[in-house]
Amino acid sequence: MITIFYRRNGRLVVSQSETELSQLSRNDVLWIDLLSPSGEEKHTVDGFLGEEIQSRAQAEEIESSSRYSETENAIFANTNFLMPGPEDYSMEAVSFTFVDNCLTTLRDVPLRSFTELQRRIVAKPHLYPNGFTVFVNIMDQRVDLDADMIELMSKEIAQYSKRINQQEDINEDFLLDINQLQENTMIVRENIIDKQRLVTNMIKSDKYPPELQGRFNVILQDITSLINHANFSFERLEYLQETVLGLINLDQNKIMKIFTLVSVLLMPPTLVASFYGMNVPLPFMGKSLTWLGLLLFMLLLVAVVLYIFRKKKML
């Protein structure tokens, strides 16, 4: 699907037909948004721009160090947008192409930041004079969504911390949940850093309007704050993970302590029983109340061992 935002006689027009590009100049077009485009739509846009737009496969194959490039007439930028799922996050590649002041975006899935921005452009078109302004607003909204994801993760971390304090369901599954949250935090942080590099490279270019310098600086400040917050969240998860491991070790030590205590308490009675179980003459054998005396003696040994343990504060 293709969506074209262009100006005609000072008014904003939104079209979903690629055939209209043949009647327009690049100075008239504000933004061309390609959502899972057909081969014909992409070929038409390539011809209109005079540059070949990178496909999704090409964007995904590009190394992180080469996600931004410039030619004499165009800027090519690629980044990933996070899509939150039930348990983890998926990354969707988005390509940005600037030719003159026209922005072209290529994506394969609907994105909330794009949908909201399209509504804003239709409502207040005078706030978006060129494609660079559209790009700045896309990045601004994307950073806000990333901030929302980090905030949600912080709330999850707080819930895990509360469960640890109340010692609710502290087991292997709980530890695996914390590990998954750590992985999600790393993915979000990596994605934010990718956008930081993209915005930094854009600032270094001499093709964007100088009046957008302040907007780019604000976005970079927001991204830096998010990176610091993500780092703090990861450190907090590491602390929770160590706490859970410590609690699990304490529980295991308590179980081993109980088994050890039972074994030590039964050792003296077992020793006495083993002596009198031998087929040799021993004192008091053959008398009717010998068994009662042996039982009392074994109970006395248990009591003595228990007393020694308590005296040594080993219980």
Q: How far is the C-alpha of 202 from the C-alpha of 179, rounded, in Å?
A: 35
User: Quick check: 219 and 139 in contact, CB under 8 A?
Assistant: yes
What pLDDT, on a 0 to 100 scale, did the predictor assign at position 296? Answer: 81
Between residues 98 and 247, the one the model is more confident about: 98
Domain boundary pick from 223, 248, 273 = 248
Q: Are residues 240 and 258 in the same domain?
A: no
Quick one: average pLDDT of 246-273? Answer: 78
Q: What is the pLDDT of residue 180?
A: 83
Same domain, 237 and 300: no
Same domain, 259 and 241: no
**Total domains present in the chain:** 2
Among candidate residues 231, 248, 265, the one where a domain is terminated: 248
Note the pTM of the prediction, 2 decimals: 0.74
Does residue 110 sit in the same domain as residue 52? yes
Residue 192 sits in the same domain as residue 292: no
Among 248, 276, 302, the domain boundary falls at 248
Q: Tell me which residue range forms the domain holding 284.
A: 251-311
pLDDT of residue 191: 85
Pair (183, 273) in one structural domain? no
- Looking at beta carbons, which pairs linking 267-275 to residues 24 or more positions away fall under 8 Å? 267/305, 268/298, 268/301, 268/302, 268/304, 268/305, 269/298, 269/299, 269/301, 269/302, 272/297, 272/298, 272/301, 273/298
Do 149 and 70 belong to one domain? yes
Whether residue 179 sits in one domain with residue 241:
yes
Compute the average pLDDT of residues 53-76.
67
| 7 and 125, same domain (yes or no) | yes
* Domain shared by 59 and 106, yes or no: yes
Indicate whether 115 and 99 sit together in one domain. yes
Q: Are residues 235 and 266 in the same domain?
A: no
Half-sphere exposure of 75 (CA within 13 A, CB side): 23
